[in-house]
Amino acid sequence: MTSKTTIDRRSLMSAAGAAALATLAAPSLVRAQSKRTIRLAHHLPIQSEQHAAAEIFARKVAEASKGAITIQVLPAAQMGGQREIIESVSIGTLDMGFGESGLYANYVPEFGVVALPYLYRDFEHWKKAVDGDVGASLAASLEKKANIKILNWMVTGYRYTYLRSKPITQPSDFKGVKVRLPEAPVFVKTFATMGAIPTPIPAPEMYAALQTGVVDAMEGTAEVAYTFKIYDVTKYLSMTRHILLDGSFAISNSLFAKMPKADQDLILKAAQDAALEQRAQHFEREKASLVKLTGEGKMQLNEPDLKPFADVLANLQNEFAAASKGADVLERIRKL
């Protein structure tokens, strides 16, 4: 006769076996219960629109994953300057970073074409380039050559020039001026062509470089100039609008490739949704920054005629594209 204790033990063993089989049959359940933290670093202050976009992205990922994936945002150059951040993403020592085409050109030279001076007719022209086949093909090359996967395309905006001792009214005004700019080939070529002395310096060091006279000027967006308090160390704001620049959240492809498809999809969607929100808010934020720079910042603003600048830099577009093997990219953008 079988005892009640033996029956109870058999029941427990049967229940445990069924649970184990259920777990094997439903790996997604196990994955859903695991936690993952992804570090996203950028070089900008927490007041910047890029940081706001990172927070939007983090919130959307948390909501879509029901808390299983956390995006840890590391702002203000905690992980180094922008070039260092992107290099770390490329080698896999950092999960994610905020990059831009000028820096990606260090890995895929054709990327520099996207940031060529005076290339776009307007913002709609820019969107057609980055959201279409041009952006997709460049992103695929970066993924293959540098282990960097672009998740979205944001707009960093038009870039202006900020100077300590004089405004810029014509291209010749740049002659001999030491200009702080990003560590990106297209920026160096642009200012060298106008006679300036390009001086690549990481963003966290540009305030001190202007304050001490290491450089005479810097170039960048209105919001960056305001958040870094460049108005404290410069006096003139010349709206040269020399480049309309992109920005993007980029992830280590070796990390991304290991993720379950469901996680990949929700991260991509969250990044793209964050980019749409960032784009929608950008130009209003730019207007507000210009008001602050000329108001509380007391900067003197001037709007030079842009045609002479575009004329001086017209040949650079073709020369840079040819040197970077991106002539076809340039023509595709022009034809959009």
Angle in degrees, 0-180, between the axes of helices 133-146 and 327-335, rounded to the nearest 10: 150
Question: Residue 270's CB: how many other CB atoms inside 10 A?
Answer: 25
Question: Residue 114's CB: how many other CB atoms inside 10 A?
Answer: 29
Kindly state the helix (H) or strand (E) to which residue 246 belongs, with its residue range: strand 244-252
What phi and psi, each to the nearest 5 degrees, are found at residue 63? -65, -45
State the pLDDT at residue 34.
79
Q: CA-to-CA distance for 307 and 284, rounded, in angstroms?
A: 25
Contact by Cβ (8 Å): 155, 259: no
- The CATH topology of domain 35-335 is D-Maltodextrin-Binding Protein; domain 2 (3.40.190)
* Residue 20 in tokens: 């184990």
Contact by Cβ (8 Å): 237, 301: yes
Average pLDDT, consecutive stretches of 10 residues, N- to C-terminus, the chain (336 residues): 43 42 40 80 94 98 98 96 96 98 94 97 97 98 98 97 98 98 92 97 94 98 95 98 97 98 98 97 96 98 98 96 96 97
- At which residue do the structure tokens 């790996």 appear? 27
Query: Could you tell me which of 203, 199, 232, 236 has the C-alpha nearest to residue 220?
Result: 203
Contact by Cβ (8 Å): 189, 152: no
Q: Which stretches does DSSP call E strand in 126-209?
A: 148-150, 154-158, 160-163, 178-181, 197-200
Model confidence, pTM: 0.85
110, HSE (Cβ side, Cα atoms, 13 Å) = 19
Which residues, in sequence order, are bridge partners of residue 251?
96, 149
**Which region holds residue 118: left if phi is over 0, alpha if psi is between -120 and 50, else beta?**
left
